[in-house]
Structure 1
Amino acid sequence: MNTQWVQFVNDIKAQYGKDFVPLHEPTFNDKEIEYVTDCVKTGWVSSVGAYVTRFEEELAKFVGVKRAVAVVNGTAALHIALKIAGVELEDEVLMPSLTFVATANAVTYLGAVPHFIDVSMDTLGIDPIKLKSHLNRMAEIRNGELFNKETGRRIKALVPMHTFGHPVELDELVALCDTYNLVLVEDAAESLGSYYKGKHTGGFGKVSAISFNGNKIITTGGGGAIVTDDEALADYAKHLTTTAKVPHRWEYEHDEIGYNYRMPNINAALGCAQLEKLPEFLQQKRELANKIGQLITELEGVKLFKEPTNCSSNYWLQTIILDERYKRDEILTFLNDNHILSRPIWKPMHQLNIFRNCPKSTLVNTELIQKRIINIPSSCFKRIGGSEL
């Protein structure tokens, strides 16, 4: 590897002050210990407790929606979001092929079918122009609902995913949903703290999903949330995720098939502490992006992916894009061999055997981007450029 990359490795290690630099680490201090300890002392550590309610209320306020329902992980949140949005057996759900497998998995839990759409080079998310062209070619509206002319199945929902925290072109996608009678369900798993034209991601969909996995910008250990402005849908989500149990002082009455997706109180306590720090984390992430941008100026043929126009991204994972002179896996091998933990973007869903027969648009950008993107260390609390982040 050339001296530019050797220097880049040395710079990253120097900035973080360690020889092994993980991809992303959570940040904890006395506040997390205080809240979790308090939770343990109350004895309410499982699915009921004051921290769950507090976390839901504070999260809804931060996102700018009426309700949030805390659940066990982001995949569970998306599963229930799709269900309460009306996705049913054999429906098709439009989504990017360039996404984490959970997006497609959640659709299949309902017996529905993922339908893969190409992405924009500007956002890494669904390209609205390509989506419109694709729908005009292969879909038609019958009796107020959209159908795939090739498969005969109803196309019920659109699930844009905000890749690495960078918002997609939501105005255009909302307009397409209105035109084609689609339900918008945002996969905002990675975009807590990201805004499109001043409005928080997750606030555009009829219902949306957020993740608090250990590697996210804030974490509850595991965890997720369903967010919505629809009070009735929020109540239904809460009911389904608590085993669809009918309230009663002692009887175990369940009125439909439910799911044990409740977030434990002890996880919510951790989340409350993390949520208090989120504005600080967002500022640190932005400073980190600026610093990484400076470091890679010395690397020929490499650029940092930056937030799209009219957006404020949380910069959850720092993303570099290689030009055609590089072989991605050679760079990944070099970085990881030198203890700079780095990862490629996900293998596109249409390339996985489990989804190879799903309907799809042409996916030119998806296949090009997949060969060029690398995520590099993105923890925001280490020493960067002489300041303690």
Structure 2
Amino acid sequence: MVLQAVKYTPTSGEGPASLEILDQLQLPHRTVYEPIKTCEDGFDAIKQMKVRGAPAIAIVAALTLAVELSTARDEARSAAEARDHIVQRLEYLKKSRPTAVNLGDAVGKLSKLVATAADTSDANSQTVVKDYIAAAERMMVDDVADNKAIGANGAKWIWENTQAGKSRATSAVQDVKILTICNTGSLATAGYGTALGVIRSLHNADRLSHAYTLETRPYNQGSRLTAYELVYDNIPATLITDSMAGSLMAREGSNLAAVVVGADRVAANGDTANKIGTYSLAVLARYHGVKFLVAAPRTTIDRATRSGKDIVIEERAADEVTRIKGPQIGPREELGEPAMVSTAAIGINVWNPAFDVTPAELIDGIITEVGVVEKAASVFNFDSIFTYMANEDADVKPSSIGGM
């Protein structure tokens, strides 16, 4: 069973909606689900990074308000008052991570939806609330569906376009191995994941021999989170340090079918911003003849950003590099209370960019929920996968909030 980082139960005749989130601050050593009953609970969970990953943040915020609305007493508001109340609460939740693009996108879409709901001739507070809850719930369903489609599309491409995949089709002894970085699974999305969703799809089809995950220094999302998900799902996997990737590619040769990564933003030309270390992987993959794939929903493709040169890279705190936190280990391997440990010389200068940009020329394909986009004449063109979205603003369809 795939890990559920967000557990949501819709309202029913037996009671109001309910929401629980897996507290990622306690992973990988403790699995603790925390109930979210009010917008204040959701705000704190997002602010404290108990929930992380751009899609997960947006979905938890949307569902938090759905739970609050489903449990609130009917105060006989008018449709306009219900609309204003919902928009106010959404704006409050947005402040929990004001720089989170996906959260802002979800708030904008949901605000438009309730404005439309309140303007109908027979609208009242109950119908506006009902429309909001249905839209928030659909966000979660759509995100999981999109992730599973990404996983299926990526698995099929790897099977048909890599040396390992094509050889495995005729020989059961051929290995098909995948390398990934950071966390792109259920812990970062509504469920299943993007790059990790591709790994899951290969595993579920019995076409994956082994997965490798980089520890992803300095925040260790790979060792803390991806490794946790792989162990939870019983996917055969190995953790390696970031500096071991080249040696792994040299050792595995054609058995390593592909490197599959997520994306924080894909520019119009295909340049991709992702967790620091991704660019290095792409360079190594090109040298060793390993396919390099980006897995991301279409909403991560920012056609207003012409190239990677226009993407601003966030720099994070120095202590992420010079310190590390984890539980103390007792004489019998028992886990004790967490402690912060210094790992670097006091006073050393630190450069800690959160992301890097991988040039499009190093990317073999970008896996989306509607298919894999490959370069034509060495150029990515995303027009075909956005055709149906031309009238999306008119429909105010609050789905596919994607991104890592």
TM over 0.5: no
Give the structure with the larger helix fraction: 2
Higher relative contact order (CA 8 A, sep 6+): 1
When normalised by structure 1's length, the TM-score is: 0.30
